[in-house]
Amino acid sequence: MQNDIQSAVGFAHAKPERAADLGKLLVDFAERSHNEPGCLGSWINQDADNPDLFVFYEVWATRTDLARHLAQPYMKEFLADRMEYLERDLEVRPLRLTGPAPAESADPAEMNQRYLDAYADRDLDAIMAVYAPGGAAVWEPGKAVSGAEHRSAVAEFLERDPRLSAEVSECYIAGDTAALVVDWSIEVPGAPEMTGSGRGFDVLRKNAAGEWRYVITNPFGSR
């Protein structure tokens, strides 16, 4: 399978007195990346034995997406000032996917079960991973959240130990876009005002790797 997927692994050796600042900065960059077109993943790791060493790994759908990311003002500013944080310059190794290539997901309705599984596991990262970069969730009629605000809302909601069930009743596909009509119910212990059921309307898009991701989840779609 031919593809234009771009990936890289990088090593950032922080000045000891700036390690905490650099770590926060890199995590913030990764979160911003997740909301940019073509970002298939961005992860920041800290060496288990050396707290001053950060290892980042990111994957982009195309070279154009990667170039757009590097041209973002926050990236250009960091790259210009990076030695304020680093003991030595960044080491970045571009990678080429040799296989296996990401498998295409033929049925967008499968994402509904993946969403439910992530909630059942109380896995915040897995929940956010079902969304496309910049994807939005409607948390109350007329108000959608995305990015860091969405992640914060999900994290707070998980603390309530919600019990969610949902079934896709209708699925429509037009090219790389799909729409799901979903019948759902939710129980939130100790919060009867948040417990109930309804019919939602979700929109998904297939990314460059052939994977379906939510663009909008709207549990109030029938209103």
Q: What is the pLDDT of residue 31?
A: 87
Q: What is the pLDDT of residue 193?
A: 87
**CA-based nearest residue to 151, from 176, 170, 134, 169:** 134
**CA-based nearest residue to 115, from 177, 58, 63, 180:** 180
Mapped onto helix, strand or coil, the DSSP state of residue 1 is: coil
- Per residue in 83-107, pLDDT (tens digit) is 999 999 999 999 887 766 555 556 8
- Per residue in 172-182, pLDDT (tens digit) is 999 889 999 99
Q: What is the pLDDT of residue 89?
A: 97
Q: What is the pLDDT of residue 3?
A: 59
Q: What is the mean pLDDT of the chain?
A: 90
Spans of the chain below 50 pLDDT: 1-2
Strands 163-174, 177-187: parallel, antiparallel or unpaired by DSSP?
Answer: antiparallel
Q: How many Å is the Cα radius of gyration of the chain? A: 19
Distances (CA, A) of 6 to 12, 67, 123: 20, 10, 27
Torsion angle, CA of 33/37/38/41, rounded to 10 degrees? 30
Q: Answer yes or no: are the C-beta atoms of 114 and 130 closer than 8 Å.
A: yes
Strands 212-218, 131-140: parallel, antiparallel or unpaired by DSSP?
Answer: parallel
**CA-based nearest residue to 184, from 197, 194, 196, 193:** 197
